[in-house]
Structure 1
């Protein structure tokens, strides 16, 4: 099959391109810029465009499919040429479904936890040498790529993102997968640039539940009121199987999971991650992994990339970075680190970077999100607000939103850096939360021992 990617350099797009190349497809692509690690990965497979830009002459009738990425615009010259020629144009999720329509589709959805749960499932499958197709939004230890597609595997595990599919297909991605087996982990308003109201956002999850094939099943986090309402209100002819956080305890900085065979030491920690683990266990059992085998494998799971990743540790100090940016993720991650290191002072730093987090109307959703921290710091870039063409965000608005009188706020990266590296971190835990990079320098300067 001859496939062309418009915006091949995206995190998801380049992984799909590599997966198809590995499957024996003829793959080409274009992009106006490509960053690492996409650039090196594409180059290793001979898929890196010889020059950046959009080239309508690459589009011709020999192409059997054109995959359109979100980075492209609706007026992209290659897209226009493909439309003029009447070529079949797919969004990323549409093309994944075409590759998976004859497989048992396992789709993990939710505002938070979906990457971690998908990663847990794949870790368990890999541990027990169960080969499955997959698409996950994080790099995993032991996995070369984030997308795998084969002719023969029976199962495909898909991380179900609720963001839009393409510039010309404004449906959420997870509406297109038609799962046989599904999971819904949590609902917390996000992506307000495309879902302007909470009700509109929640509706997308109702559509997801109703998209499960008749006779299929959904495991759902019954501790999340929004999830419980959405799933239990659905009239779809599916099995509805609730799950909740298992019993565990923390002893001397070690999380011990209660199992039928006794306490099991595990690498991950935090109530939200134990809840994720419960959901992953259900899905693995649907896929033929018994409970004992699940526990054996999950004990070695260290977490998904950028999710509560330990980046520095000494005898008296520990530092983590996390992709957390939405209010619910920030609150869960902050509580998790404080619980795990209850005898240490927690310095929690949050970068407001996304469209939602820099929206003055959305800021109030962060109320209480940093309450578990002993020292709470927020960093944001006024320049990022300008780029996103949002109304100006003030220190006062942020302080009022978090409702912490002692909240420390920085807008200058160098001032934030000076504060951070002037701290005495003896007997402290440092948590850096961002979907950005704190001005591209923080992580490079952290001590490694």
Structure 2
């Protein structure tokens, strides 16, 4: 059993699970986990709404993995510009790409480019304190439309509807609090193309929608259809049943007169964003279920007066340098995690896992099994992999430093982590997130 060195590009759950499984399955494996940000954890840190501390419990498990002696975190390194695939091959036996999906999937609607249209990924990055997005967000709209029927749509609706002071128990940064404190939204309308049994909310997130005393959740009865296929989905899926049961409770509940409202509209498909110079409304078409979980338009249209539109219709991965890319599916072509070239032939020593492999679907359990499949392929290929030119683990660090790359380390992340906890403690909170990339690096080296 020879020693192997593997680079993982992306320090979110997918990459960290791959590193964990590999070091457990192959005792002589050493793994360097790279990320373009100075901090690890990917979308768990920068994609989960800050008022979901229970979901962020996953960080504790990810931290244990990255603390392992055989795994090393190297942050603030951007693949494709700071380091290339040819560089990585010089230092590693194989490379696993787990860069996830950071961009918004486009939505082709008339008027979608009007000012007042926003992508979910950009807004989530703002309220999660991502260092690479603007510090301010325009929150002047009083009536907002959110397009989508997944958890990201719920997060956006909840963050827009919940008063800023109720979010001070979370890790939101000062600039985010100031932005939310100036938020003028009173009504947030969430539009779903299909019916209650086809909604992609998770039960916990859907129940939490009403936990704020300042927010009424209103499910509009129009479009609340349960056909035979829907009933079968309810009968065979506990999650679907819980979501529909919660929706029925919302449907039967009388509004309390709370100052903010989240409206859920079912079987309404967006067809155009309206406005003259900026967003002034949304046009939807009423849909109907056709028995197989899908819907068709009825030709009945409604114009909704709204001041802003947020698109939460899915994330999309970005093309990675030196790798093939399926632009339609938004993934790297692969066979059980082995990257395939344009002729369908595996590219030696290159692998993928997570959303860049399968698309932005699935929960943590899917991510683990996905990583296990990729690691199994890598280990099966090991006899044919070419050993790197150098086995010195510090050679890659010397290479980065020699090129002027200001990379960060696990020790520096631990200092930044402690710094954020201290900042929060001064204000009676568990943590307050540092936003500026330069400030993150300085705190890690203090």
TM-score with structure 2 length normalisation? Answer: 0.28
Larger relative contact order, structure 1 or 2 (CA cutoff 8 Å, min sep 6): 2
Report the TM-score, using the length of structure 1 for normalisation: 0.28
Structure ID, larger Rg = 2
